[in-house]
Chain A
Amino acid sequence: MTIGKSDDIKPSEITPERLYFGRRRFMRRAGSALLSLSAVGLLSETILSRNASPPDDPVIKPKSPFDTDEKQTPYNDITTYNNFYEFGTDKADPAMNAGQLKIEPWSVSVEGYVKKPRVYSLDDLLKPFTPEDRIYRMRCVEGWSMVIPWLGFPLKDLIKRLEPGSQAKYIAFETLCDPQQMPGQEQHVLEWPYVEGLRMDEAMHPLTILAIGLYGKRPLPNQDGAPIRLVVPWKYGFKGIKSIVKIRFVDKQPPTTWSIAAPNEYGFYSNVNPEVDHPRWSQKTERRIGEFYKRKTLMFNGYADQVAGLYAGMDLRKYF
């Protein structure tokens, strides 16, 4: 535009008084809107991040070198926010529906390439072991995480006692299948029974445990996988198969439930890996239960120093 006489400004370009004042009013309103927005923000942050845990919540002291000293997720959250589709697909379902699960008596069948295949009562199976606290991070494939003080024992101790043969390259697990006790199994949401598996070196890793309690106490609450479940802290939570009734030593990679349901979304390994996205959502960040802001997800869920060696030379994009 050239600078010219004042009558160069067309009448149509002059801001009408009404709009001119409207602008001021707009600024004022925008200002107060911004103020109230930040107030809403502050309020939401306090309400939605429940950093203060109930005062009566016990705290388990980290002892083993594998324990994390991060703030432990409140017992109430660990026992009311569960993925355990055998009792329903909502997070609150397991806590409501798991009461019918009868964990006594419980037996575990040991099968496959093993010296003494037989059905053990849970008591017989557990007798040789002294349970210890293990405070682990748990990262769900859905993008949330917890810090859980499990009570359990290394899976490798059990494997050693069972004396698997040299053909045993993998270990396969199976959850109880009984719609009477597990009402979620009446819906064909997944293939029942739930099955999971590990490579033998993963199973023998000292981080891998069978959990039988929580916050120093037995038994496990039913909704958390009573009476005995697997915990593999560097893998996504669904690898930690719950309410185990069968352990099989096999020579081939066993099928796993979620990769049967969606093979392009869930692999056999399912190691926590911020670099490899789930096809439908990012795995770069996670929301720690009780926190408002998201945090960065760590390679192998922060256990890279201990477990990265298991996967040396493997393409983790291919073997996701």
Chain B
Amino acid sequence: MKAVCWERTNVVRVEDVPEPAILNPRDAIVRVSSTAICGSDLHLLDGFIPTMKSGDILGHEFMGEVVEVGRGVGNLAKGDRVIVPFPIACGHCYFCTHDLFACCDNSNPNASIAEKLYGFSAAGLFGYSHMMGGYAGGQAQYVRVPYADIGPFKVPAHLKDEQVLFMTDIYPTGYMAAENCGIKGGETIAVWGCGPVGQFAIRSAFLLGAGRVIAIDTVPERLRMAEDAGAETLDSMADPIFDRLKDMTGGMGPDACIDAVGLEAHGANLDYWYDKAKTMTFMATDRASTLRQAINCCRKGGVVSIPGVYGGFIDKVPMGAAFNKGLTLRMGQTHVHRYLPRLLKHIEAGDIDPSFVITHTVPIDDAPEMYKTFRDKKDGCIKVVLKPN
């Protein structure tokens, strides 16, 4: 079958690889109808996430048809159309039974590697390095799905792939980011990064009752898409962000700040170049200029919510600002399973049509080229959907 494989930093290829087989009783095999390239896949392309091996199959946003189920899977049958959450969760450990699916205790076969870096291992993820389980991803014609009685979520036939595909990651990720802001009604939320996760965070913040959303990016088409959702926008390269946010909130600062950028922040500030120099000389692993700014801009007692991915160490975190302003920091991989019934209702009710974010739909063979188009934000690229079959 065809699969998108990571070869080395900056190189992905479509390879002919063997088809997956059932390896454990609770496995299922899914024939992939649609799969997407995620912004976090770009961290793999750029070599920011350790423990990738040449030949690893990428992709953690995918859906399709169940073609085979293991003897331990009672609630799925051949022919079911499912979306598959990107974190792999066993459903029975302490964390899964407490709705913390992305912290599953059992799904990472390489937990000992993650423990060395993080103290404890979180859930295994599809196509996201060996430290995160080394599972083959879904940018392929077929994919093996472990714990298939827990992860895959059946979707109704009347909804198109494009409307439900993003329930695998970016829609719940944006939603959890907004939920983490503790919105009660009428708040002002600032969102850094108007990529796909930022777009879903903006819309979710409004869905949850935010009064205003201020979206910050520098790519014109992304800012336009944020405006379409009702957000006010700031250009991170042109506007003095702290001053503008302060002005726009009557001197108070936003109630909550969302960092939907993560470890590869770009910026015009001095600290961006500081981070860039440190990461290039291997003295730090992640660039954190967005996080610093979000902490600095947030009002006293507010929340900084971080859906953007961080992998290692960051430097010069303004802990004094966070502490003395009494901020709450909330973050983490998304507990996707927790949100699916709720988010499907929003789609079915017409509150949101997640397909708005798609700018490119291509056959799987074009994946390598699309990784670069997406990374370089060329051709108005915001979200790429691949059709493997």
Say if A and B assemble together. no
Interface residues of B (CB under 8 A from A): none
Interface residues of A (CB under 8 A from B): none
